[in-house]
Amino acid sequence: MKTYAALLMAMISLTGCIRMSCMSPSCLGEETYNNLMHPKPYGAHWVKDGVTRESRLGDFVQCGGDANLRHGYGMKNGQSTKDFFDGFNAHIDQLSNCMKDKGYIWLEKCDARCLYP
């Protein structure tokens, strides 16, 4: 039994795919690796038919996001963690409702429609 356990451990360590210790495409798969290592910004997930990068950016900024397609909310000096997350959640709700009002839908998993980069 000890021999089988040692053999199994040797095989696992040779593959380089020990759970949570390998962050390469060979372990995770190319798509998962790219999603983890190169995530799309929040604003890239908002899509609608006929939209261009420029028009989405303009709508996103009008709704409260920033020019880098990030959520556009930061921690204020001296702000508690609770206050930050309360404000952040309210900001994201407002931003989300605004984008929906403009006809956008949210894609949890970005594809070519995300137009990013």
The tens digit of pLDDT for each residue in 39-92 reads 999 999 999 999 999 999 999 999 999 999 999 999 999 999 999 999 999 999
Q: What is the pLDDT of residue 89?
A: 98
Please report which confidence band the pLDDT of residue 15 belongs to, taking 50, 70 and 90 as the band edges.
low
Q: Which of 71, 84, 75 is nearest to 41 (CA)?
A: 71
The tens digit of pLDDT for each residue in 24-45 reads 787 888 888 888 888 999 999 9
Mean pLDDT value across residues 6-17:
56
Residue 99 structure tokens: 């984008």
β-partners of residue 105 are: 47
Q: What is the pLDDT of residue 95?
A: 98
